[in-house]
Structure 1
Amino acid sequence: MTKLTITATIIAKADCIDLVKSELEKVVAPSRKENGCINYDLHQDNQDPAHFFMFENWETRELWQAHLESAHFKQFATITEGALENLAIHEMTQIV
């Protein structure tokens, strides 16, 4: 099976940028250690500090789904509840 690429665009509310950034940073290291994680890269827009972008590659969709059930991911979701303006996640497959 072809690896699964995940892109996530995360927009923090203006008064929650530091909280969202801090919590996103906390998720990176344990996610990179998860079974099936190829890469897990966090970016912040240079012009808009509220705009974060996550680029991930997983060996399979099932392993990514397991990541969504991990304690560190659930903790992120709980702590940042109400702090996000928008969250868009896309499951993608590299074609070339």
Structure 2
Amino acid sequence: MTTLTIIASITANINNVELVKSELLKLITPTRAEAGCLQYDLHQDNENAAHFTVVENWGSSELLQAHIENTPFTNFMKVTEGAISEFAVNKMTKIA
């Protein structure tokens, strides 16, 4: 099985840092309990508190897609609409 690694880079609007952080923290427990979630870690930049990185590992792209369609993630997207200035997702495969 090839593990799918996701590196999500999220930058909150300066006035919405605490909202985005709070909503990201709410994702941790339910996401870690999802089928196929091998790792789900949230990081906050030491120099720019508005910048967050999520490092995820999933058992397959299908299991990742189920996560994206799951209620906790769709709720996160609704609640933080307009509060995020940048949201980039890189899908990666470990090669060494």
TM-score by length of 1: 0.99
Calculate the aligned-residue CA RMSD, in Å.
0.4
In structure 1, the gaps of 5 or more residues are: none
Tell whether 2:6 aligns with 1:10: no
Runs of 4+ in 1 over 4 A off after TM superposition: none
Which residue number corresponds to residue 46 of structure 1? 46
The number of residue pairs the alignment matches comes to 96
Deviations 1:22-41 (A, max 9, x none): 00000011000000000100
Q: Specify the code of the residue in structure 1 equivalent to 2:90.
A: H
Q: Distance in 1 between matches of 2:3 and 2:46?
A: 29
SS of the residue aligned with 2:57?
A: strand
Q: Kindly, what percent of the aligned residue pairs are identical? A: 51
Tell whether 2:88 aligns with 1:91: no
Q: Distance in 2 between matches of 1:21 and 1:80?
A: 10
Q: Distance in 1 between matches of 2:95 and 2:77?
A: 31
TM-score by length of 2: 0.99
In structure 2, the gaps of 5 or more residues are: none
Deviations 1:43-90 (A, max 9, x none): 000110000000000000000000000000000000000000100001
Q: Distance in 1 between matches of 2:61 and 2:38?
A: 12
